[in-house]
Amino acid sequence: MERIEVLAIQRLGAADRAKIESVDPSVRLTDAGGWFDGEYRATWPAYTSSRYLRAGSDGAGTREERDRLLAEAEVVLGGWPFPLDLRARARRLKWFHQRPAGASNLLRGDLWGSDVIVTTSRGVGSTLAMAEYALAGILHFAKNLDRAILDRSAAGFDHRAYRPLLIEGKTACVVGAGGIGRDVGRLCAAIGMRVVGTQRNPRPNEPVPAGFSELAGAADLDRFLPDSDFVVICCQWTPETNRLFDSARFALMKAGSVLVNVARGEIVDEDALAEALDRGHLRGVVLDVYVGEFEHLPPARLWSDPRVLITPHVSGASDEDRHGGIDLFCDNLRAYLDGRPMRNVIDWQRGY
């Protein structure tokens, strides 16, 4: 039986290692999680290293040993960050699986646009946790909890400044009704909201997802925005969605609406967003992402605005690990060994 060399360059627990090794006797798994941390510190921005690497972790083995591991690997399981020159060093590499969901994470390295099959964990990540975060952001501004923060800073209550909204009957627009977006829609509907959404390629014959009153194509976004009290961005960042929310789209949004972004910062034109806030067009903004989040802190113009709530890409975190990336990898590994199509293969032209 021909042996399949699988290299994990992200840290794995014992249970995940056992899952991978049980897929087939031909699989030889090498766990090199943490081995490349020193390289990441040298090749990625310092902000990325401090945010995503364990304190004091400088990697393991010599450069020659790490090169050998990559050179022998047919399959690599990675996370964030990853070796920027992975393709050049992994000459036998046929398939790379990224545990995170966002294909745009890979834009930096030499894998993008290469001949290697690349898959992501799109749709099976911490979708429920992210949906709960989006709902929390909606409620934060709907119930004027932002005012409570201002009052505490002023050491006094401005009672008349509170303008809480009744959620029931309000409209939420989900931009990108994939795994995250469908959970957002379901939760919003559960508290009485009307939910509409967009999808890049909706299938006319498929039933509308639970909680949605309408699911339409990307071109219908402009039709939904004027009537939407809350807009939640959940789509992938691609050339088509780059600065999707620009000055024209903010002008279309309903006056007094709330924007939540749990996708990627680049989907929002931050200058246009600041201008919309300056003219008082938005009630509030919740950003778990922003442009350049892996390199620096948020722009002061947004971070200092009390109508903007910014968190450091933590919407998928919770006390329960429900991330399905390893299960998807194992399913795809079985398909790879059997010569069957795999799920979530990146289309380089489409961008995810």
Give the residue numbers marked as catalytic. 264, 295, 313
- How many C-alpha atoms does 24 have within 13 Å on its Cβ side? 17
**Tokens 């029931």 label which residue?**
168
Count of C-beta atoms within a 10 Å radius of residue 271: 14
Return the closest-CA partner of residue 272 out of 290, 297, 240, 249.
249
d(CA 50, CA 24): 37
Helices (H), the chain: 14-21, 37-43, 46-52, 63-72, 86-89, 127-142, 145-154, 179-190, 221-224, 247-252, 270-278, 300-303, 325-338
End-to-end CA distance of the chain: 34
- Taking residue 68's Cβ as centre, other Cβ atoms within 10 Å add up to 13
